Each structure stands twice: as C-alpha cells, then as structure tokens.
A and B are shown apart, each in its own frame.
Chain A
Amino acid sequence: MQRFFTAADTLMQQSRFSDAALAYERCVFACHDTNPEWQNRALLKKAMAYKAQGNFAQTLQTLYRINFYQLTDSARLATGYEIVLNAYLTGQFTDAESQLQQLAYFIPDSATFNQQLLFLKILVLNELQKWPEAKTAFTQYLILNRHPPELANIYYDFMRRPRLKNPQKARRLSTFMPGVGQLYGGNVGAGLLNLGLQLGLLSFGAYEIWQGYYLTGFGTGLALTQAFYFGGIENAETVTKRKNKEKIARYNNRIKQFILTVEQSK
C-alpha cells in the first residue's frame, strides 16, 4: 500500500497531476473495503491533484466520495473546508451553504470552525444575497482578526439602500410607458433609445396616415412601433436583471477583496 502512495506522491511532486490522480485512485482501489482511513486519505489527495489542475468540479466530485463518518475531527475539518471551497469555486453556493451547516454540526468547537471556515461562510452568504447573516459573520470575522467591528457597517452600507431593482416592476413600467422600465433599472441609454425609437416610429406612422399614406403609416410606423413596444418590455426585465447582477458583484467584490487581503496576511 505504501508503495502506491509513494508513487502517487512522487507524481504529485513532479506536477504530473493527471497521472497522480490516477495513481491515487489506484490507492483507493488497493484499500477498497479494507482500510477506510487510507481510502479517505487517497481520495483527499486525488481531489488535491484535480484542484492543482484547476478542475474544481472533479475535485468536488472526488471529495463527495469521502466517507465523512470515518474521519477524525481534524481530517473532517480539512475535508469539509475543501468541499465548501470547491463548491464555492464551482458556483454551487447552495451546496456550499448546506455543507457549512453540516460542518457546524460535526464540529461543535465553534472556535476551530470560525478560524478555518468563517471567511468562506461570509463569501458564500454574500453570493446567496443573505446579507444580514453575512454581516453578522463578517463582524465576528473582524473581531477574530483584530479589526474594528465597525468596519462591517461600512462594508455592508449598501444594505441600507441596496439599489437592487425589481425586474417585474421594470416590466410593468415599460408596459405603461416605453423606456421607463429601463430608466428605473438604471439603464439610461437603453431607456432613452427605446423611448426615442418608439416615439419616432409612432410619429412617422401618424404623419404618413395624416398625409393619406395609410398603408405606409400602418405598415411601417405602427407595426414597427408595436414590435419595439413588446421588445422593450422584455428588454426592460433583461437589462434590470443584468444591472442587478453587476451591482451584487460590486458589493460582494469589495468584501471579497478585504477578506482575501486578511487571509493572505495570515
């Protein structure tokens, strides 16, 4: 068994991560159903080989194969940390949150949990837009890292005026007044363009009808106005959602940068 591990470790040291992953799977196979502890160890190392390749989805998949119940507390913490981290990196934030809750159950020592996983908890909660919980965790994090807890109010200041707009409301506004939904969503350019186009086409249509060119007035002016009108309603919702996404990323990125600086300085 040891020779399998040595061979795999050598490949890992040589940065041959793909071969190392297979070599660790060989270790898993060699101690299959006989030594769960070694099997878990091999799986964790295999996951690290995938992680070194930047293949976080495979890392996560391998980590899920580890039998949590047969781990020591420290190994459970290390594995749990990797699961949460890789779930976060693959954008599976709900899974990351549920793993954090499980870990909190498995690791009753809150000091250890906070030391290792609090920063991940804040990042995950931020992505899930659970900002009140994230702020509480962030305050705890600041105290733990000897920073003034008041900083939390500054970093989470956006919560007082989140400026996130309701895409459905944007839709409704554009239904009654073209372009207003886009303006409400924070997309001034799109709103004005939409309004201008529809007013222009409507005016053209009305003018042509007034001049006696009924078919041109209806066919070009009114037909295109209605096409832009319904398109504008859809567009109001889409651009509002996109703008919200940008704002959320901006709010979260400030906190993320702060946490990364603190973690790197440790």
Chain B
Amino acid sequence: MSNANICKRCLFCLLCATLTTNNALAQNTLQATDSVYRQEMDFGQYLLNNQQYADAQQVFAQLDTALANHLAATRTDSLHFYQGWACYNQKLLLPAAEQFLQVSGNSPFFHASRFFAAYNLTYKQWYAPAKGILTDLYLPPSDSLLHELQFFGLAGIALLQRNTQQFTRLSEQFTFTHYQLQQQEQNLLQYAESIKKVKRRSPALAGMLSAVVPGLGKVYAGKAKQGIASFFPVALLGLQAYENIHKRGIKNGFSIFYTGLFSVFYIGNIWGSVLSVQIKQQEIDHEIDNRILFDLHIPLRNIFGN
C-alpha cells in the first residue's frame, strides 16, 4: 500500500471517529436536555397542583431561560402555557396573556391559550386586542362548542363596550345547546336588557335641582338617602343665616358667619349633586361589568378545566 493510500485511509478513519464522537455528544446533550425538561416540568406541575404559583412561575421561567434554544416547538408551547397558567393564577393577567399568546397553533394548548389570553386582556380593558385574538382564531368547523365560545366572548366584549348593536348581532348566534355556557349566555342577554333600562341622567339638571331644593339633585341621581341627608344641614344653616340677618342685621358677625357657612354648604351641595350623577353611573357600570366578566370566565373554566 502506498503512503498516499495510507494517509487517505487514516484521514477517513479520523473523520469517521470525529463524526461518531460528535453524534454521541449530540445524543448525550439531547438526552440531558430531555431529562431536565421532563424533571422540571413535573416539578412545575406539582407546584401548580399545590397552588404554589409564584414558585411554579420561577421554575418555568428558569427552564425557559436555560433550554429555550434546545427545545422542540411543542415543548416550548407547553412551557409557555404553564408559565401563563402560573401567572394567571397569581392574577398577573398581562404577563399571563403574553405567555399564552406565544403558544403556537400546533399545540394542544392552543385554543385554551387563545381564549384565556383574550379573557385576560378583556379583564384589563384591552378590548381591541382581545377582540382581535378571538376574531382571528381559527377553529375546526366541526367544533360547535368552541365556535359558540368565540361568539360568546366577542358578545361579552361588545357588551362591556356598551356596543348594543354588535352585541345583538353576535348574540343571535347563541344556540343555548352547550351546557358549559348556556346559563352565561342567558345572563349576558339579561345584562344587555338591564343596560338598556338604565336611564342616563343629566349632571346639569341634577345641579339645577339642587340649586332649587338642596339635595333634590342627588335624589334625581338615584342617591335618595344622600339627598335627604344633605337637605337638613343646608336648610338648617339657611334658616340660621336668615334669622341672624333678620334680627341682628347683615353686618353683624353672626350673620356673616352663618351666611358664609350656608353659602359654602349650598354651593358644595350643588357641585356634589353634579358629581353624584357621574358616580352613580360609574357604580352601575362597574357592577354590570363585574357580572359580565364573571360570566365570561365561568365557561372557560368549565371547558378547559381548572
């Protein structure tokens, strides 16, 4: 055998040996990554089951940082979903939505992630992105439950935005055939009715009414007890101011004191009546919003589990 042939044969052997070593190393790294992933995911899920959500979030975040570039797409998806779940349970709704939105379409957690992300954004009053998520969501045509849930979510957002026309259009799609959201669909329709029945009061009129009869503006705003309670001190101060001006003269110290005090209370009451219209409206809106959000949440837990 010539020298050249020997050299070629040695190089071939060396190449083969290098390739084999590299393969073995890659195999070992893969196995190690796999083992770490399984171990940490099990631990994270154990923490979630034991309601140690902050610790679970830390475990998933560390795993994400350590193995982000070495994980298969499905595993990254699971990791994002569980991170989102840990955040969601700590009421960290925006970070939760951020994690949920990173779950890709191939994941079995995809639909749950999208619906929960939309809910979290809705809760935070980010209505436009929440609506976008639900509208863009591709659902298998055969899955009538998820389609219904999609309409239900969109209808809920429309109601939160007080867009009654859009709500009516979306609620026409309700079939009331899925027990998981049947009751909540009926509730949304009820809330829409009560929103329609709420009378919009005029702050200016409330102010004017209180200028005529102290406290009447608050009664008009829907705060009858407050109205009656504010009538007496203003009326009493007015009577005292009148008595002092009438008997002691307008330049007397008592007259000035009582007139000043009466004026402050009288004007304050008018201003308070103007504000009470807005406060009452906010209270009503807040109460209805809370009920809607509560009802939007229940089907998610019913369908995607706890």
Contacts and interface: CB of A to CB of B under 8 A. Distances in A.
Interface of A: 21-22, 25-26, 29, 32, 212-216, 219-220, 223
Nearest to B62: A22
A216 B46 CA distance: 73
A26 B43 CA distance: 7
Task: Give chain B's interface residue range (CB within 8 Å of chain A).
Answer: 10 to 19
Given A29-B43, A213-B247, A219 B239 contact: yes
B29 to A, nearest CB: 20
Contact of B55 (A25, A214, A215, A216): A25
Nearest to A18: B58
Interface string B230-265: 000000110110111001100000100010000000
A22 B254 contact: no
Contacts of B58: 22
Interface of B: 42-43, 46-47, 52, 55, 58-59, 236-237, 239-240, 242-244, 247-248, 254, 258
A210 B156 CA distance: 67
B214 to A, nearest CB: 15
Given A29-B43, A213-B247, A215-B243, 7 more contacts: A22-B59, A25-B47, A25-B55, A215-B236, A215-B240, A216-B244, A220-B240
B139 to A, nearest CB: 37
A29 B240 contact: no
Contacts of A215: 236, 239-240, 242-243
A127 B58 CA distance: 39
Contacts of A214: 243
Contacts of B237: 219
Nearest to B254: A216
Interface class of chain A by DSSP: helix
Contacts of A212: 247
A212 B247 CA distance: 9
B236 A219 contact: yes
A22 B236 CA distance: 66
Contacts of B243: 213-216
A29 B55 contact: no
A229 B42 CA distance: 66
29 contacts: A21-B55, A22-B58, A25-B47, A25-B52, A25-B55, A29-B42, A29-B46, A29-B47, A32-B46, A212-B247, A213-B243, A213-B244, A213-B247, A214-B243, A215-B236, A215-B240, A215-B242, A215-B243, A216-B240, A216-B243, A216-B244, A216-B254, A216-B258, A219-B236, A219-B237, A219-B239, A219-B240, A220-B240, A223-B236
Contacts of A220: 240
A213 B246 CA distance: 10
A203 B43 CA distance: 76
Contacts of A216: 240, 243-244, 254, 258
A71 to B, nearest CB: 21
A63 to B, nearest CB: 15
A173 B244 CA distance: 37
The 8 closest A-B pairs by CB, nearest first: A215-B243, A219-B236, A219-B240, A215-B239, A216-B240, A29-B46, A215-B240, A22-B55
A88 B52 CA distance: 24
A28 to B, nearest CB: 9
Nearest to A25: B55
Contacts of B254: 216
Contacts of B239: 215, 219
Contacts of B47: 25, 29
A32 B47 CA distance: 12
The residue among A25, A216, A220 with the most chain B CB atoms within 10 A of its own CB is A216
Nearest to B42: A29
A223 B58 CA distance: 62
B249 to A, nearest CB: 13
